[in-house]
Chains A and B, each alone.
Chain A
Amino acid sequence: NAGVTQTPKFRVLKTGQSMTLLCAQDMNHEYMYWYRQDPGMGLRLIHYSVGEGTTAKGEVPDGYNVSRLKKQNFLLGLESAAPSQTSVYFCASSYQLEVGGGDYNEQFFGPGTRLTVL
């Protein structure tokens, strides 16, 4: 199993350009997430999906759109990139089990995409 993969690994954009980041998972996980990681800020949730065809906003959703057309893929789009979107983007996926009367939800992360917006 490849786990969680992300495409591309690196990208440089000019302000105003658009792009799509692709996340794919082969673990048949129901839930998928997009985070960004910035120095001094830690990881913050952008958007997430709890199933095919569903999406929801996280902590920092502005300037991003997402789609989950297939269960194994979760796309993150930047319609008009800004320098403030320079960051490392991580995708994660998880399953959920009921164990011992509680929920067990372990997230697995991809290797990240390093995006620079000039």
Chain B
Amino acid sequence: KQEVTQIPAALSVPEGENLVLNCSFTDSAIYNLQWFRQDPGKGLTSLLLIQSSQREQTSGRLNASLDKSSGRSTLYIAASQPGDSATYLCAVSRGRYSTLTFGKGTMLLVSP
């Protein structure tokens, strides 16, 4: 059974810092890995999707990498801002219909 772990569970940083969120998964036979953002009481917003054949994806200040063989992904946030405060979720898909297995998330607080 696929298990997804996110470390750390919570992170507090001052504005402007670069930071890294970690995601690990136990079964390397994945199709895609997707990073989401969730604001309190809200739904999930897709940030980045990395196909299993890719090694990284970038969107603005966000960069996600994937090392399938070691079962790891990282989300790098450059020059963090208070508006980045949210819970970040990592999810991996397996199989043609790409049902997702989620980690429990990293709660990020960026202080002004």
Q: Which residues of A contact B (CB under 8 A)?
A: 31, 33, 35, 40-45, 48, 50, 56, 58, 90, 92, 94, 96, 99-112
Docked CA distance A74–B46 (Å): 20
Establish whether residues A102 and B99, one from each chain, have CB atoms under 8 Å apart when the complex forms.
Answer: no
Inter-chain contact count A-B, CB under 8 Å?
A: 74
Chain B: how many interface residues by the 8 Å CB criterion? 27
Establish whether residues A105 and B44, one from each chain, have CB atoms under 8 Å apart when the complex forms.
Answer: no
Docked CA distance A104–B98 (Å): 9
Q: Which of B19-66 contact A (CB under 8 A)?
A: 31-32, 34, 36, 42-46, 49, 51-54
Q: For residue A42, which residues in chain B have a CB less than 8 angstroms away from its CB? A: 89, 102-105
Interface of A is mostly: strand
Candidate in B52, B99, B105 with the most chain A CB atoms within 10 angstroms: B99
Docked CA distance A11–B101 (Å): 26
Establish whether residues A111 and B53, one from each chain, have CB atoms under 8 Å apart when the complex forms.
Answer: no
Q: Which residues of B contact A (CB under 8 A)?
A: 31-32, 34, 36, 42-46, 49, 51-54, 89, 91, 93, 96-105
> Which listed residue (A58, A106, A109) contacts B99, Cβ 8 A?
A58
Q: For residue B91, which residues in chain A have a CB less than 8 angstroms away from its CB? A: 43
Question: Across the two chains, which residue of chain A brings its CB closest to B96?
Answer: A103
Docked CA distance A108–B40 (Å): 17
Establish whether residues B49 and A103, one from each chain, have CB atoms under 8 Å apart when the complex forms.
Answer: no
Known contacts: A43-B89, A107-B46, A110-B43. The answer to whether A102 contacts B51 by CB under 8 A is yes
